[in-house]
């Protein structure tokens, strides 16, 4: 009896030791597997910003404008040119273009040609078919801008594990000085003569029209933004918001000569605008400062390599996934081989 108890006790000790060994082996294997599951990924330093030494830029623009015409409305009403029902509407269209250079990644110097048309907006009095007034303005001048923000933007592509260029973004205020040429066309649809500048002014006969002109120096202020699809230039899209304001006043003239004895106020023309720009250019660049760190999900900065934050445990490592697939294929093949062959009748 004592002998059997000793034998049973000895067997239990052996089994317990075997269990400890097995558990130790499992812990070791588990730690190895856990080591395979660890995926350390780091983001390489972002590319340096492209700094333009010099650039040539050209673009066209189109948009809308809201004009202020000084005493023009009073001149057309009080002097009975288009009678009392005449109303000046201020909305018009803006169009034009600009050609310039970018110097030292900051300064923009250019020449612009702009047009502002109020053809359909300076009130036609068609209810009484008296007449119509149409106004256009062309401005030619130079402008200077300063890029307060001009940087290239990159994003990190996790598939190719590299930085990809997205766009170059530029924000700039600008100042321009130019010369405005205005054209006013008055058409008479009525059955009697009408006058611009009173009865001692310019007469417009039945079913006819006359054009009056004036010139005014202007100043332009605005804020623009634009983006390049290529870091060397290429296609450019953006917009500008601003206004032009007359630096003085002028007088209406007919065929280049003042209208004698006309009872007209001095000309004033200003406006605000919003326009969309589209064009392109070429930029000669040099390497600039390094881009600020842009952390992405699942990646860490190289400066933190080796820290606890770099270790990104995943449910399964790539090697383990491949091993699992191989085991599944092997198991399926064994099961197919073990299946009994169908007996022949």
User: Domain residues of the chain, as ranges?
Assistant: 50-290
Cβ proximity of 123 and 86 under 8 Å: yes
Q: How far is CA 146 from the centre of its chain?
A: 18
Q: What token pair was written down for 184?
A: 């006013």
- Please tell me the pTM assigned to this model: 0.67
**Residue 199 has what pLDDT?**
77
Q: What token pair was written down for 305?
A: 């390599």
Strand partners, 221: 175, 243
Return the closest-CA partner of residue 135 out of 123, 125, 149.
Answer: 123
Cβ proximity of 180 and 242 under 8 Å: no
Cα–Cα distance between 5 and 225 in angstroms, integer? 93
Return the closest-CA partner of residue 109 out of 68, 147, 75.
Answer: 147
**Residue 162 has what pLDDT?**
80
What is the full per-residue pLDDT of the chain (345 aa) written as tens digits? 555 555 665 556 555 555 554 454 554 545 445 555 555 567 788 787 778 889 999 999 999 999 988 888 778 776 666 655 556 678 889 999 999 999 988 999 999 999 999 865 455 555 556 777 888 999 999 999 999 988 888 888 877 778 888 888 899 999 999 999 999 888 887 778 888 887 778 888 888 899 999 999 999 999 999 998 888 888 999 999 999 999 888 888 888 888 887 888 888 889 999 999 999 999 887 755 544 444 444 444 444 444 333 334 444 445 455 555 555 665 565 465 555 545 544
**Residue 13 has what pLDDT?**
56
**Residue 53 has what pLDDT?**
87
Return the closest-CA partner of residue 134 out of 169, 192, 202, 186.
Answer: 186
Q: Which residue has the tokens 């006790």?
A: 9
**Residue 28 has what pLDDT?**
52
C-alpha distances in Å from residue 78, one per residue of 83, 84, 86, 210, 230:
8, 8, 10, 19, 57
Cβ proximity of 95 and 240 under 8 Å: no
Angle value at C-alpha 239, between 235 and 243, nearest 5 degrees: 140
Angle value at C-alpha 281, between 227 and 150, nearest 5 degrees: 40
C-alpha distances in Å from residue 198, one per residue of 85, 123, 187, 189, 267:
17, 19, 16, 18, 16
**Residue 11 has what pLDDT?**
59
C-alpha distances in Å from residue 271, one per residue of 65, 172, 193, 237:
7, 20, 32, 24
Return the closest-CA partner of residue 152 out of 43, 48, 295.
Answer: 48
The helix/strand/coil state of 10 is helix
**Residue 309 has what pLDDT?**
37
Cα–Cα distance between 277 and 242 in angstroms, integer? 13
Domain topology for 50-290: Porin (2.40.160)
**Residue 301 has what pLDDT?**
47
Return the closest-CA partner of residue 216 out of 185, 192, 252, 165.
Answer: 252
**Residue 250 has what pLDDT?**
86
**Residue 298 has what pLDDT?**
42
**Residue 304 has what pLDDT?**
41
């Amino acid at each position: 009896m004592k002998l059997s108890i000793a034998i049973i006790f000895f067997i239990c000790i052996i089994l317990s030791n075997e269990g400890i060994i097995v558990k130790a082996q499992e812990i070791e294997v588990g730690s190895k597997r856990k080591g395979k599951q660890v995926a350390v990924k780091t983001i390489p330093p972002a590319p340096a910003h492209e700094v333009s030494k010099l650039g040539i830029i050209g673009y066209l623009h189109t948009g809308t404008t809201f004009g202020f015409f000084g005493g023009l409305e009073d001149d057309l009403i009080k002097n009975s040119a288009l009678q009392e029902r005449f109303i000046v509407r201020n909305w018009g269209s803006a169009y034009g273009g600009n050609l310039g250079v970018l110097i030292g990644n900051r300064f923009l110097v250019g020449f612009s040609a702009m047009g502002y048309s109020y053809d359909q907006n300076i009130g036609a009095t068609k209810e009484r078919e008296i007449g119509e007034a149409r106004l256009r303005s062309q401005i030619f001048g130079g402008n200077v801008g300063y890029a307060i923000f001009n940087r290239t933007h990159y994003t990190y592509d996790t598939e190719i594990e590299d930085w990809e260029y997205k766009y170059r973004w530029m924000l700039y205020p600008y100042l321009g000085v130019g010369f405005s040429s205005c054209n006013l066309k008055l058409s008479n649809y009525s059955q009697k003569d009408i006058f611009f500048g009173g009865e001692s002014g310019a007469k417009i006969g039945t079913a006819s029209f006359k054009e009056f002109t004036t010139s005014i120096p202007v100043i332009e202020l605005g804020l623009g933004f634009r983006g390049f699809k290529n870091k060397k230039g290429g296609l450019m899209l953006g917009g500008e918001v601003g206004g032009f304001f007359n630096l003085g006043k002028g007088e209406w003239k007919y065929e280049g000569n003042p209208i004698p004895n006309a009872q007209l106020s001095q000309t004033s023309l200003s406006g605000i605008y919003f326009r969309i720009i589209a064009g392109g250019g070429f930029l000669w660049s040099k390497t600039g400062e390094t881009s600020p760190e842009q952390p992405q999900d699942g990646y860490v900065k190289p400066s933190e390599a080796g820290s606890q934050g770099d270790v990104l445990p995943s449910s399964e490592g790539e090697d383990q996934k491949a091993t699992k697939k191989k085991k599944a294929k092997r198991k399926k093949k064994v099961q197919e081989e073990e299946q009994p062959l169908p007996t022949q009748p």
